[in-house]
Amino acid sequence: MSAEVIDGRQVATEVVETVKEATANLIDTTGIVPGIAVVIVGEDPASQVYVRSKGKKATECGFHSETFTMPEDTSEADLLKQVEALNADPKIHCILVQLPLPGHIDEDKVIQAIAPEKDVDGFHYINVGKLGTGAIAEAFVPCTPAGSMVLIERALGTRDLSGLNAVVVGRSNIVGKPMFNLLLAGNATVTVAHSRTKNLPELAATADILVAAVGRPEMIKGDWVKPGACVIDVGINRIDAPEKGEGKTKLVGDVDYQEAAKTAGSITPVPGGVGPMTIAMLMANTLAAACREAGVEPPHY
Ligand code: GUN
């Protein structure tokens, strides 16, 4: 293996440390305490784990943190009322409604009901538009692509990606499209590939920065990777692992890590790469919202 392994856990720890220090400073100088509300509807076990860890991390950062657990049969109207109450609550700077929502609730309607200045996920059309027009300092940027960007900048040692080719595999609203906008804002030349793209291996092999966000285990093969490329694997897929024993499973990314690491210059592992950055950037976004209220510059990461 020749690639530098990008340690997402370590970078996430550093981001959270910066958030903690800046939060303490903000509270000292302005009295403003960043506040985050997380709303979960139903009892999906994976979502409950995520929500608990978000609440814990927010408290660790020194934030005011509230979690609202609503029953599976909550009506769309009641959820919208909860969002409106949080929109009007001055203690709350950021609102996160955990997805997926139960099938009888229109997710988009709920997301668009969140005040754009509290939309910590960056899913509201206003934030999508700000990111797309380059008004990034005023936007909330979705946490996973924001975290991926921090890893890319640290791995390459620069925020200026001029002259570099980036290929993003996957065109989701949550990762692929915002990743495209962030890389473009960093001056990379960006191509977004997806399930209808022809000659994906050849295209991927042109990438100095290759971002995989398709949700298909180990789809990106080692020989698709340009020598020296920075490979960011956003995928988290659970697959059977008979080699670990009967009925055992393991987590893998969208990239065939063992093979790709022979060619890449730097690569994120799964787990321990992009994953830990998502929650760290949620904390960073919450602090940024409070800083906006205070008219204070938020930290850079
Ligand atoms: N469920 C899984 N990931 C996310 C996320 O980034 N934001 C929200 N709101 N829900 C999620």
- Kindly report the CATH number assigned to the domain that includes residue 234: 3.40.50.720
pLDDT 10s digits, 52-111: 999 999 999 999 999 999 999 999 999 999 999 999 999 999 999 999 999 999 999 999
Which atom in ligand 1 lies closest to the alpha carbon of residue 278?
6
101 and 151 assigned to the same domain? no
Q: Which residues does residue 190 pair with via DSSP β-bridges, in sequence order? A: 166
pLDDT 10s digits, 248-265: 999 999 999 999 999 999
Within-domain flag for 205: yes
Within-domain flag for 52: yes
Range of the domain at 231: 142-276
Residue-level pLDDT, tens digit, the chain, 301 residues? 689 999 999 999 999 999 999 999 999 999 999 999 999 999 999 999 999 999 999 999 999 999 999 999 999 999 999 999 999 999 999 999 999 999 999 999 999 999 999 999 999 999 999 999 999 999 999 999 999 999 999 999 999 999 999 999 999 999 999 999 999 999 999 999 999 999 999 999 999 999 999 999 999 999 999 999 999 999 999 999 999 999 999 999 999 999 999 999 999 999 999 999 999 999 999 999 999 999 999 999 9
Alpha helix positions (H), the chain: 8-30, 45-60, 76-87, 107-113, 125-132, 143-156, 176-185, 200-204, 257-263, 274-294
110 and 148 assigned to the same domain? no
- Number of structural domains the chain divides into: 2
192 and 267 assigned to the same domain? yes
Q: Which residues does residue 261 pair with via DSSP β-bridges, in sequence order? A: none
* Residues acting as catalytic residues: 54, 98, 121
Which of 73, 99, 115 corresponds to the end of one domain? 115
Q: Atom 2 (ligand 1): residue with closest C-alpha?
A: 99
**Ligand 1 pocket residues where CB is under 6 Å:** 96-99, 121, 143
pTM above 0.95? yes
Q: Residue 249: in which H helix or E strand, if any?
A: strand 249-252
Question: 255, 250, 206, 249: which is closest to 234 by C-alpha?
Answer: 255
